Amino acid sequence: MNKDILKSMNKDILLVVDSISDEKGVEKEIIFQAIEAALATATRKRYKEDIDVAVKIDRDSGEYETFRRWEVLSDDDPEFTNKESQILHGYALEKDSSLEVGDYIEEQIESVSFGRISAHTAKQVIVQKVREAERQQVVDAYADRIGELMMGVVKRTEHTGVYIDLGNNAEGFIPREELIPRETTRAGNRLRAFLKEVNAEMRGPLLILSRTRPEFLVELFKLEVPEVGQDLIEIITAARDPGLRAKIAVRSNDPRLDPVGACVGMRGSRVQSVSNELSGERIDIILWDDNPAQYVINAMSPAAVLSIIVDEELHSMDIAVDEEKLSQAIGRGGQNVKLASQLTGWEINVMTEGQANEKSESESKEIQKVFMEYLDVDEEVAIILAQEGFTAIDEIAYASPKDMLAIEEFDEDMVEELRGRARDSLLTMAINPAQKDETTSELLAMEGMDSELAAVLASRGIVTVEGVAECAIHELLDIDGMDEQRAGDLIMKAREPWFEE
């Protein structure tokens, strides 16, 4: 081939490398490798056989050479399937005694002219390599930034979500389910979002963003409230109903600083800025408290709590509010109590003060009835046990004698007698769960109930269908053999009379 033509081609290669590297911001080495792959592909097409080709370009001059090569495999390698591109080690040693398994035997062949590469082939290979390099650059740049706020410009909106230009060849994607409901986005709008995930796979969007996560709300407050960034104020947690309402719990690490006031800002400027970013989402700022009951009371704001009963075993709280404030406490569609529950991690049951008293009285009577039936005691003793906080037979069976002796009306003989009767009762139920008595007869008549379950419920003070109806699903899940489906079916069956009324 004419030397001038060769020099021209070599110069063309260097020009292509410089041009693409400058335009795409990709390392020149990536472009060289892409051109080598394109030349190798074009060379293989000149042969009928399935050969292996390697092209080596001099990075300084642009000159290149082409080699046909054979991979050296061990003599017993089952992967030896193509003699056109593979050679067994024993035969390879006849050509070069220094060759080892994994090496290549190379034979220089005529190179394809760079100018004669199929334009489609070259473009396809180069574009693929460039895209891979660009994608890896973005992965490297953002892998350690998950959880940060991102600011970008809306490129386009599709039915699946919104694409955001983050600059420097980085593109973010907000899936439809991660967008604030009813939020309008138009091309050219500036938008903030929370970096939820970096998708290193070759398919699909690379940077997954979110505007609905509670973490997004927290990051916005960090941006608006300098005291948070300085660790003077700590945002403990957040809960959101995106686009409608949210709650955040804050505490101060400086006793002189009011965390709620700092987050609200002068005339509400700080919280309003965050709300505007969230399409007008209403935000309640709650003072965190290490006392769970007080924390829940704070979280129920703006509703005023009259009384609260904590069940640590079931991790739930019964809250009583003024009857006129019941709808406010629950919120539209249960929104206020749901967010308060998410914020605190406690299941919250809201009721009026009258309903709370009725429930407490009803539960107390059921417990007393169980004690009278299972412990064979009179009403006075049953009332004392209930008032002292005992709610089930097993609590009495395994109670500390010292704690029970602290009850003014009980002496040592009384305590031992009660504990013995409780243990005997539990043993009887364990040995003969099918035993029926007046206490469990109503439960046993209920569809879906069996004698063993009735005995367990009775030991907890639940001895009527109405008692089952007042249960929550989670209250039954610790019973052996119980799952959410069965618990839900039992409760709904027990509530059928409610709907009939």
Same domain, 456 and 416: yes
The full 3-state SS of 195-214, as one line of letters, equals: EEEECCCCCCCCEEEECCCH
440: tokens are 């469990």
**Dist. CA 239–CA 254, nearest whole Å:** 24
CB atoms within 10 A of CB 421: 18
Calculate mean pLDDT across residues 435-440: 48
CATH number assigned to the domain comprising residue 180: 2.40.50.140
Instruction: Please give the pLDDT value at position 95.
Output: 84
Q: Which domain holds residue 443?
A: 368-500
pLDDT over 70 percentage in the chain? 90
**C-alpha to C-alpha distance for 345 and 365, rounded to whole angstroms:** 30
**Can you tell me the distance from the alpha carbon of 175 to that of 358, in angstroms, rounded to the nearest whole number?**
48
pLDDT at 461 over 60: yes
| Domain co-membership, 106 together with 163 | no
Q: What is the pLDDT of residues 21-56, one digit of tens each?
A: 777 667 788 788 888 888 888 888 888 888 889 989
Specify the pLDDT at position 390. Answer: 83
- The per-residue pLDDT for 282 is 93
Residue 135, classified by CB atoms within 10 Å of its CB into exposed (0-12), middle (13-18) or buried (19+), is middle
- Answer whether residue 395 is part of any domain: yes
Q: What tens digit of pLDDT does each residue of 302-318 get? A: 888 888 888 887 888 88
Tell me, what CATH number does 460's domain have?
Answer: 1.10.150.20
Token pair 């609260």 in the structure block, residue: 308
Asked if 183 contacts 243 with a C-beta cutoff of 8 angstroms, the reply is yes
What confidence score (pLDDT) does residue 202 get? 63
CA-to-CA distance for 48 and 71, rounded, in angstroms? 19
Asked if residue 127 and residue 58 are part of one domain, the reply reads yes
* Residue bearing tokens 């043993």: 427
**Residue closest to 382 by CA, chosen among 429, 433, 421:** 421
Q: How many angstroms separate the Cα of 166 from the Cα of each of 149, 211, 276, 352?
A: 11, 15, 21, 51
The encoded tokens of residue 289 equal: 């408290």
CATH for 21: 3.30.1480.10
My answer on whether 197 and 245 are in the same domain is no
Average pLDDT, the chain: 83
To which H or E segment does residue 181 belong? Answer: none
Predicted confidence (pLDDT) per residue in 126-185, tens digit? 677 777 777 888 888 888 899 899 999 999 988 889 999 988 778 899 999 999 988 888
- Distance separating alpha carbons of residues 98 and 346, to the nearest angstrom: 72
Judgement on whether residues 189 and 247 belong to the same structural domain of the protein = no
User: Are 164 and 228 in a shared domain?
Assistant: no
Locate 483 and state its tokens: 């799952």
**Domain stop point among 102, 133, 164:** 133
CA-CA distance, 38 to 291, in Å (whole number)? Answer: 68
Q: Work out the average pLDDT over 320-333.
A: 84
First-to-last alpha carbon distance for the chain, in angstroms, is 99
| Model pLDDT, residue 430 | 58
Residue at which a domain ends, from 191, 212, 233: 212
pLDDT for res 34: 81
* Pair (107, 11) in one structural domain: yes
Q: Are strands 207-210 and 170-175 parallel, antiparallel or unpaired?
A: parallel
Residue 333 has pLDDT above 60, yes or no: yes
Rounded Cα distance between 442 and 465, Å, is: 7
Is the pTM higher than 0.75? The answer reads no
Write out pLDDT tens, residues 263-290.
999 989 999 999 999 989 999 999 999 9
**Residue 155 burial by Cβ neighbours in a 10 Å radius (0-12, 13-18, 19+):** middle
Does the residue 332 lie in any domain?
A: no
**Does one domain contain both 224 and 174?**
no
**pLDDT tens per residue across span 207-264:** 999 999 999 999 999 999 999 888 899 999 999 999 899 999 999 998 899 999 999 9
Residue 22 Cα distances to 27, 57, 135, 403, angstroms: 9, 19, 17, 81
- The answer to the question of residue 322 being in a domain is no
| 405 and 474 in a common domain | yes
Note the pLDDT of residue 500.
Answer: 65
124: confidence class by pLDDT, cuts 50, 70, 90: low
Cα 458 to Cα 287: distance, rounded to the nearest angstrom = 40
Question: For the segment 335-387, what is each residue's pLDDT rounded down to a tens digit?
Answer: 999 999 999 999 998 888 777 777 777 777 888 888 888 888 888 888 888 88
Domain-embedded: residue 362: no
Q: What local confidence, expressed as pLDDT, does residue 204 receive? A: 66
Look at residue 334 and tell me if it is in a domain.
no
Domain boundary among 240, 261, 288: 288
Burial 282-309 (b: 16+ CB within 10 A, else e): ebbbbbbbeebbebbbbbbbebebeebe
User: What total number of domains does the chain contain?
Assistant: 4
Same domain (yes/no): 10, 120: yes
Q: Is-contact 195 142, C-beta < 8 A?
A: yes
